[in-house]
Each structure stands twice: as C-alpha cells, then as structure tokens.
Amino acid sequence: MAADVPGILRQTELLRSASAQDIDAVAAVSRLRSFRPGQVVFTRDDPGGTWLVVVAGRLKVVVRSADGAELTLTVVRPGGTIGELSVADGGPRSADAETLEASQVLLVPREAIQDICSREPAVAQALASAVAVSLRRLTDAASDLVFLDLPRRLAKVLLSQPRDADGVIRPGLRQEDLAHQIGGTRQSVNAALSGFQRRGWIEVRDRTVAMHDVAALERFAVQ
C-alpha cells in the first residue's frame, strides 16, 4: 500500500499549520526511501539540501572523532525529523545519520520548505522553534557530559526511552549504543546497569531493560 505522504507531512510539527495546498505541493516533490539496518543516510559536511521525516524505523545522529570515537547526539523515531538547521541556513550537515534498523525516510527538498516559510509566518515560526529545540537539547547534553557522572547520564537516557505498560523499554537497547549516547564505554555502561539492578531499580534481560522504580532513578539522575 502506498504511503500517505500528505498525511505524514501534516503530522509533523513543522508543517502542522500549513494549508492543504502547500502540503500537497511538498508531497509532490518529496520522495520516500528505504534504508537497510546500519546504512548511512548522510555524513557530516554533506550538502543539506533535504529535510528528513522518519516514517518507520529509527535513525541515530552521531559525531565522530578523528580516531573513530562516537557520540550519539539523538535517536530519531517515527514521526521525528532531521535537518531543520540546514533548512534554516542552507549549510552542510553538521553530523552523520545512520539507521539503527530497517527504516523508511521521507526526503523533502529544502526549497519546498523555504517557499512555504517565505509565505506562511506560522511555518517559519515552527522552523525557528525546531532549531531552538535542537539547540536546547545539545546544550543540555553538553552540560550533562561535563557535570554528571556516567551512571547519572545513563539514568537520564533510560528515563527518556519509550516504555510499554510493563515498564519495558521498547525497542531493546544495545549497551554499545547506550555508551555512544552518554560518552562512555560498553564496560562502564554494563557496570552502571548492574548497579541499578542491584538496587532493584531496573531488570536487565538480554537487550531489554525493565524499569521497576522510575521514581528512584529520577531522584538519582538529578542528585
């Protein structure tokens, strides 16, 4: 069944206030791409000519050092978007983006968004707000890296994950991916998870984590 591209666009924060005519015009020039698990979507310094909407799967946005060390800036889930900064300033990509699993991504030309922003103040404001949200998230992450120890950074990441009714984080988390999100190693993440489990706050089951005492983790994360 063909994807409802106008419906996908209408659900985004950026285009929620756009007219049906503008939505249809953007949909007409957008394209849906499928990516394999672990596939590169774009790399740092690539031209930032498209805005991306994650339709299915998950993407991670990462920066890497010259020696290959990796820091995950964010994980984008279905309905999430990437590329507002490049839409706003026309500059190149500032990080790499890769799939964590089989994914579908809608690629929207920057010019189509810019055209709407030039005519619709509400959409232009939504773009500015999206850039501000990204800046605040990166500021918070930088502050955490400097001022919080690794177990508290890990607690904050666990608390930010989607959970089912039983408190199990879905989808499962690899310890290596957690390490990339908090600037640690797999071994340090394993040690911190074991400490949380001994306290009865979580239960680790292979790649899944069940949250048993969210309030305790929240108190720990802000101490």
pLDDT along the chain (223 residues), means of 10: 86 96 97 97 96 97 90 95 95 95 97 96 96 93 93 96 92 90 95 97 90 96 85
Closest C-alpha among 27, 11, 13 to residue 122: 13
User: Which residue bears the tokens 């922003």?
Assistant: 117
pTM greater than 0.75 = yes
- DSSP annotation of 52 reads E
Q: What pLDDT is stored for residue 205 in this prediction? A: 84
pLDDT digits (tens, 9 = 90+) for 30-70: 999 999 999 999 999 999 999 999 999 999 999 998 888 89
HSE (CB half, 13 Å, CA atoms) of 34? 3
Q: What pLDDT is stored for residue 173 in this prediction? A: 84
Q: Alpha-carbon distance 45 to 32, whole Å? A: 22
Q: Alpha-carbon distance 128 to 163, whole Å? A: 30
3 state DSSP class of 123: helix
Under 8 Å between Cβ of 51 and 108: yes
Under 8 Å between Cβ of 75 and 60: yes
How, if at all, do strands 50-56 and 103-109 pair? antiparallel
Q: Alpha-carbon distance 6 to 79, whole Å? A: 13
Under 8 Å between Cβ of 107 and 42: no
How far apart, in Å, do the first and last CA atoms of the chain sit? 50
Under 8 Å between Cβ of 72 and 100: no
Q: Alpha-carbon distance 8 to 52, whole Å? A: 11
Under 8 Å between Cβ of 60 and 177: yes
